[in-house]
Amino acid sequence: MCGQILGPGYLSGIGLTIAGVFGRIAGREAAALAGPAVLTAQRPALADRIAPSAPPPEDPLANARRTMNLCNTCGFCSGLCDVFPAAQLRQGLRDGDLRHLAHLCHDCRSCHADCQYTLPHELAINVPAALAEVRAQDYAGPLPRQAAGPRSAVWLFLFCLFAPVLGTLLLVPPQVLFAPQAGAGAFYRVIPHPVMAAGAALAFAGAGMVLAVRVWRHWRRSGGPATRHSPATLFRALTDAATLRNLGHGAPGCEDRQGRVSPIRRRAHHLAAYGFGLTFLATLAGAWLHSRGQVAPYPVGSLPVLLGAIGGLAMLAGLALLERRSRSADQAPASARMLAEDRFARAQLAVVAGSGLLLLALRETPVMGLMLALHLGSVLGFALLLPFGKLSHGGWRFAALLRHAGERAARRPRPGQADKSDAPGE
């Protein structure tokens, strides 16, 4: 009966689950019936247990292995998301397996709200934080420990932001830099077009190649159960990535401590991601017009300006919503390192979008030259940090979604075979 109610995987942890879940619920109910005096008397004992007898290992992979091994035994959260069924297919839980699971996790934190082994339980299980730490380790990759993390990234970003401003102040004569510029070629009187084009092409091509190589190596090392890839699995992964399916309401009944998981994170993410996509299209549209002899700045009603302005505003709105949601969310299941990475990523994108919009607004004033240098610096910093920070997560996550789609396809029966699939949403 319990197996039918709680779904696949329940039987693997039946004893643990009954003792943990129903025992705990019964204990709470008994304490509530006994009244406030008993609850107060229990508090010191509870506080003593907040420090677990064996603290979780500091190594992110060791902690993730410990955590997911327990989840594989417990099986209580099998129906919540794709991570738990995928973990159950990987009993060995090698480093590559854990990395795949980490990038499959979308950090909804529902499992933390449901888990009976979180603090103050001495096992101190925290699946979202454990997997987030592995993701953060993957983003930083081969960077030395001192150079990895948001603190160094902030300094590098600030350097990229202000170095072009300083360079412009030193190299461009003040009578050109601070003169109101208007008409075709106004930007290029301050910073020559070849410098801009070559800088952007080198930075983005280099960043794209480094990220592609890193994700490819991750793909090679994170092989798990059999996969069966086809155009359909590629389409499924692309659809999941484009619609952010996993950021929706999750499984039926999926909740966190504040109730049903809100769709706001998905919508905010869409605004930021598609807004960024529009600004990228604006750059392509500008390049196309330039190749046809129409030189920037373009009129307000032109395609590059419209796409850039709408995209920039959408980015800022999405980032503000994400920031607000992050501040109001329950912090217990969060990884401090990932929170800092998230905040820095949002700040980076906000500076790129905000400086672009300011440049648009001030392009015919004497500060246009400095705003242009600032905006180009923000774009340069974004590109240089892309392969080693949170903003690279799209590549890692797409690889995880594609592998997961292939695994599910391999478990689907061929004609004449029995169905072996137990993944949610099948």
Binding stretches for ligand SF4 (CB under 6 A) = 70-71, 74, 76-77, 80-81, 83, 105-111, 114-117, 125, 127-128
Query: What's the Cα-to-Cα distance from 408 to each of 86, 95, 413, rounded to whole Å?
Result: 9, 21, 10
Other Cβ atoms less than 10 A from the Cβ of 97: the count is 23
Residue whose CB is less far from ligand SF4, 80 or 140: 80
**What one-letter code names the amino acid at 219?**
W
Residue whose CB is less far from ligand SF4, 25 or 166: 25
What's the closest the beta carbon of residue 138 comes to ligand SF4, in angstroms?
A: 15
What's the closest the beta carbon of residue 246 comes to ligand SF4, in angstroms?
A: 7
d(CA 222, CA 93): 10
Residue whose CB is less far from ligand SF4, 63 or 181: 63
What's the angle, vertex CA 266, arms to CA 261 and CA 270, rounded to 5?
A: 170
Residue whose CB is less far from ligand SF4, 191 or 247: 247
Residue whose CB is less far from ligand SF4, 105 or 307: 105
What is the residue whose two structure tokens read 């080198």?
Answer: 202
d(CA 312, CA 279): 7
Residue whose CB is less far from ligand SF4, 109 or 363: 109
d(CA 423, CA 24): 28
Residue 10, token pair as written in the block: 């329940």
What's the closest the beta carbon of residue 380 comes to ligand SF4, in angstroms?
A: 34
What's the closest the beta carbon of residue 245 comes to ligand SF4, in angstroms?
A: 12
Residue whose CB is less far from ligand SF4, 81 or 153: 81
Asked whether the beta carbons of 224 and 407 are under 8 A apart, the reply is yes
Q: Which string of DSSP letters, residue by residue, matches 401-421? A: HHHHHHHHHHHSPPTTS----
What's the closest the beta carbon of residue 422 comes to ligand SF4, in angstroms?
A: 15
| Alpha carbon of residue 33 to chain centroid | 43
What's the closest the beta carbon of residue 277 comes to ligand SF4, in angstroms?
A: 24
248: left (phi > 0), else alpha (psi -120 to 50), else beta?
beta
d(CA 133, CA 33): 40
What's the closest the beta carbon of residue 14 comes to ligand SF4, in angstroms?
A: 12
What percent helix, strand, coil does the chain show, rounded to 5? 70, 0, 30
What's the closest the beta carbon of residue 42 comes to ligand SF4, in angstroms?
A: 23
What is the residue whose two structure tokens read 């820095």?
Answer: 344
What's the closest the beta carbon of residue 195 comes to ligand SF4, in angstroms?
A: 44
Other Cβ atoms less than 10 A from the Cβ of 344: the count is 20
What's the closest the beta carbon of residue 329 comes to ligand SF4, in angstroms?
A: 12
Residue whose CB is less far from ligand SF4, 180 or 425: 425
Residue whose CB is less far from ligand SF4, 117 or 388: 117
404: left (phi > 0), else alpha (psi -120 to 50), else beta?
alpha
Torsion sign over Cα 233, 277, 81, 51:
positive
Residue whose CB is less far from ligand SF4, 117 or 187: 117
| Alpha carbon of residue 97 to chain centroid | 19
